[in-house]
């Protein structure tokens, strides 16, 4: 499992799930879930992106801000008319 890569779960030639590998690696429940998940034919290249930043680069600072905004009421830190939160 140390050198296992996700791309081995898909048959690149047929663009379909690699049933044998999935059933060997995962439990029956998980295998069924994976195998019933459709693969999109129009996707030609898989790309890792982070929508938390405009440039697509992962930022711990941005993740922290997202968590704070989702979990806490930060309205008391806002300055009227500025539109920025304290610490920006």
Cα separations in angstroms, 10 against 5, 23, 24, 40: 10, 12, 14, 12
User: Which residue in the block uniquely carries the two structure tokens 């693969």?
Assistant: 39
> Does 21 map to a domain?
yes
Q: What is the pLDDT of residues 26-55, one digit of tens each?
A: 999 999 999 999 887 766 666 666 777 777
> Does 43 map to a domain?
no
User: Which residue in the block uniquely carries the two structure tokens 């295998």?
Assistant: 31
Q: What is the pLDDT of residues 59-75, one digit of tens each?
A: 888 888 888 777 777 67
Q: What is the pLDDT of residues 6-22, one digit of tens each?
A: 888 988 888 889 999 99
> Does 70 map to a domain?
yes
> Does 23 map to a domain?
yes
Q: Quote the CA–CA distance of 18 and 8 in Å, as a whole number.
A: 7
Q: Would you state the pLDDT for residue 33?
A: 95
- Residue-number span of the structural domain to which 27 is assigned: 6-35
pTM of the model: 0.47
> Does 40 map to a domain?
no
Q: Would you state the pLDDT for residue 42?
A: 64
How many folded domains does the chain comprise? 2
> Does 75 map to a domain?
yes
> Does 85 map to a domain?
no
């Amino acid at each position: 499992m140390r050198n296992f890569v996700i791309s081995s779960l898909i048959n690149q030639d047929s663009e379909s799930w690699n049933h044998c590998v999935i059933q060997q690696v995962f439990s029956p429940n998980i295998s069924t879930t994976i195998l019933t998940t459709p693969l999109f034919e129009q996707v030609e290249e898989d790309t890792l992106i982070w929508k938390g930043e405009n440039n697509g680069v992962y930022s711990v600072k941005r993740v922290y801000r997202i968590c704070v905004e989702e979990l806490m009421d930060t309205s008391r830190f806002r300055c009227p008319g500025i539109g920025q939160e304290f610490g920006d």
